[in-house]
Amino acid sequence: MINKTLIISAFTSLLLSTTAQAAEPFVLQPVSDNTATPLVKFDDSTHYFVGLTGGSSDISMTAGTVNGNNTTLINQFSSPDVAGFVGADLGFYTAGGSGRIYYSWQKMSTQSDFDGVKAIETDVTLHLLNADYIFRADKTINPFIGAHLGYMTADIKGQGYGSHSQSGQVLGIQLGVAWRISDHISAEMGLRHTATQGEDIKPWSSNKVASQIKSVSTGYASVNYRF
């Protein structure tokens, strides 16, 4: 009889304790999150860099046949075809990463047609000194804008038309966006427009053709290595 009384008393005490716990309000406890990804931190001290670049080029040129040593076009050739180009860059990023100065070499070739037939071929080489301002220098994605000056050489030739060379100073602008993959590697895409300076349409030595290159526009992608 005593054992039964003890068992009933223990069961009653357990039941009352469970009921009291159930009556307490349920409160969500905050959980600390220690797994947040740390922000990427780049080394923005002064760095030299080299880059390889390529893309498409659009040369603005007026050219056509002439009668003798003059610049009045009798038959005008088509605008040069859009063509690919290759290039290389060499320069340095300033301390803080918000600017860079660099030399660019670019080489491109294209052709102009007359009545659907290839008339002349144009080879252009650009030597450019560039200066860019870089926005959001401490971030992974960096828009930039800049200007350049330099020198252009162009060799133009055509079957039965002879050949011609044009060279001189150029000025231009560029803009784009870069993606910093790591401290040492970045990729970028951009647009560059380069205008010739003070060059009028000139007759070729054969006196059969006259031409003038006015500007070169390029869309490019490049990969750079900082060291």
> What pLDDT is attached to residue 43?
84
118 contacts 98 by C-beta, under 8 angstroms: no
> What pLDDT is attached to residue 28?
47
Given the DSSP bridges, would you call strands 75-76 and 99-114 parallel, antiparallel or unpaired? unpaired
Q: What is the per-residue pLDDT across 14-67, written as a single tens digit (0 to 9) for each?
A: 444 544 444 444 444 554 455 444 466 788 889 999 999 999 999 999 999 998
CA distance 194 to 23: 79
Query: What pTM did the predictor assign?
Result: 0.80
Q: What is the per-residue pLDDT across 79-92, written as a single tens digit (0 to 9) for each?
A: 999 999 999 999 99
DSSP string, 135-157: SSTTSSEEEEEEEEEEEEEEEEE
Please give the share of the chain, as a percent, with pLDDT higher than 90: 71
> What pLDDT is attached to residue 27?
46
pLDDT at 5 over 60: no
CA distance 173 to 148: 6
Q: Residues near 49 by Cβ (< 8 Å), separated by ≥ 6? A: 89, 90, 91, 92, 93, 100, 102, 224, 225, 226, 227
- Give the pLDDT mean for 125-147: 96
Element spanning 49, H or E:
strand 47-65
Q: What is the per-residue pLDDT across 171-205, written as a single tens digit (0 to 9) for each?
A: 999 999 999 999 999 999 999 999 999 778 999 98
